[in-house]
Homo-oligomer: A and B are copies of this chain.
Amino acid sequence: MQFASRLDNVETSAIRELFKLLGKPGIISFAGGFPDSAMFDVEGLKEASQKALTEEPGGALQYGATEGYEPLRSQLSSFMKTKGVDVDPSGLIVTTGSQQALDLLGKTMISPGDKVIVEGPTFLATIQCFRLYGAQLISAPIDANGVKTDELEKLIAEHKPKFVYLIPTFGNPSGAMLTLERRKKVLELAVKYQTLIVEDDPYGDLYFGEAPPPSILALSKDVPGSRELLAHCGSLSKVLSPGLRIGWMIAPPELLAKATMCKQFSDAHTSTFSQATAAQYLKSGRMPATLAHVREVYGQRAQAMGAALKRELGDAVSFTQPNGGLFFWARLTGANGKLADANELAKRAIEKLVAFVPGAPFFAEKPDVATLRLSFATADVAKIEEGVKRLGQAL
C-alpha cells in the first residue's frame, strides 16, 4: 500500500516505545502528560451530564453547529472574561481538545515548505502535527523565563514564518513561564513583523501561589493592531477532564471561518454530548472550587518533587522550580562524573522501577540529550519521594 507523501515527514515517536514499558508492576511513573484521575469532579460531571440530557436532549444528542454548541460558547466566553479576555461567543470555536485546534491551524495555514517557529523544546504532538502539513520547524531557544524574545526577533526577521507557536505559561515540557515583559515584546514583534502568534494555553489555570501574568491574548488590548495577529487555544483537559475532549480557539474572524470550514470536513463538530455536559458544568458554578483543589494538590506535589530532586540528585541535575502546570524540566549536569545522557538514564531508571521522558524528542531542531521531563501530577507525595530516590540510585 502506498501512503501519502506527507507521512514521510513524521516518525512514530520514541516515547511511544518507552510507554510500552510503563506497565511493569511496581513502577512509579513521572512520564505521563496527563492529570490525576483522582482530581476529576465525578459527582459534578454526573450531575452536569444528567442535566444536559434532561434539559436539552435534542441539543446534546443531535448534530450540532461546527463552530460549537451555543450554550458552551457562551460559558467559555464568560470563562475567558474571568481571565481578562473580552471575547464574544462568536469569536471562539469549540475544538475536539486543543490538539484539534493545532490540527486546524496546520490545515488552515501551512502549505508544504512553510516555516513555523516553535520553542525549543516544545510539545511533541505539535511538532508532528505541523510536520504532517509539511511545515519546516525552526526552534527558538528558551530559558526559565520562556522564549528568549531577542533570539525570537532574529528568527522572525530571518525566516518570515507563517506563524510563531508558543506555550507561554507553564509550557510542556519546559514548565517555564514567560515574563510579563517578554509577553509584551511578543505582541510588539507580532505587529512589527505582521506575524501571526499562536498562544497555546492549556496550563494557565493551573498555577500554585501567585497567578501568572495575563495571557498574551489578554495583554493584546494594550498593543494596537496585535489582536488581529493572535490565535489562542484553550482547554478543559488539564483542569476538568481530558476525556471530554473540549478545547477552544479564539482567532481573527477570517482565520476562524477557514478553521471552521476545515473542521466541518475533519469531524463535523465536537461531541455535543461532551459540549452540553461541559456547558452545564461551567454553569453549575463548581469550577472555582475545582480549580482551587487542583492548584492546591498539584502545588504540594511540585514542592515535594523539587525538594526530593535537590535532596536525592544534588548538583547532578539543574532545574527551575515550576510555579504551575504539570512538569519539571531538568538537565543532567554531569557533575562528579555522573551520567549526562537522559536516554541512558531512562533505561537505567526503568530497571529501578521509575520512569520519566527524555527531553530530546521535544526539540524540533538540535536536541539537548541532557534534558528530561518529570511529571509531578499523577503520583502522590509519598510516591514522588520514593520515585525520586530511585532516580537518584539510577543516576
Contacts and interface: CB of A to CB of B under 8 A. Distances in A.
A45 B62 contact: no
Interface of A: 1-7, 10, 12, 34-35, 37, 40, 42, 45-46, 49-50, 53-54, 57-64, 96-97, 99-100, 102-103, 107-111, 114, 125, 128-129, 132-133, 162, 196, 237, 241-245, 252, 254-255, 258, 261-262, 264-274, 276-277
B49 A63 contact: no
Nearest to A270: B245
Nearest to A244: B273
A70 B107 CA distance: 30
A2 B264 CA distance: 20
Contacts of A265: 10, 99, 102-103, 125, 128-129, 132
Q: Is the interface of A mostly helix, strand, loop or mixed?
A: helix
A61 B278 CA distance: 12
Given A99-B268, A265-B132, A241 B1 contact: no
- Stoichiometry, copies per complex: 2
A111 B5 contact: yes
A57 B42 contact: yes
Contacts of A241: 61-62, 273
A250 B277 CA distance: 30
A96 B99 contact: no
A4 B266 contact: no
Given A7-B108, A243-B273, A45 B53 contact: yes
A59, A64, A99, A162 — most chain B CB neighbours (10 Å): A99
A312 B129 CA distance: 54
A125 B267 contact: no
Nearest to A5: B111
Given A63-B242, A261-B12, A96 B267 contact: yes
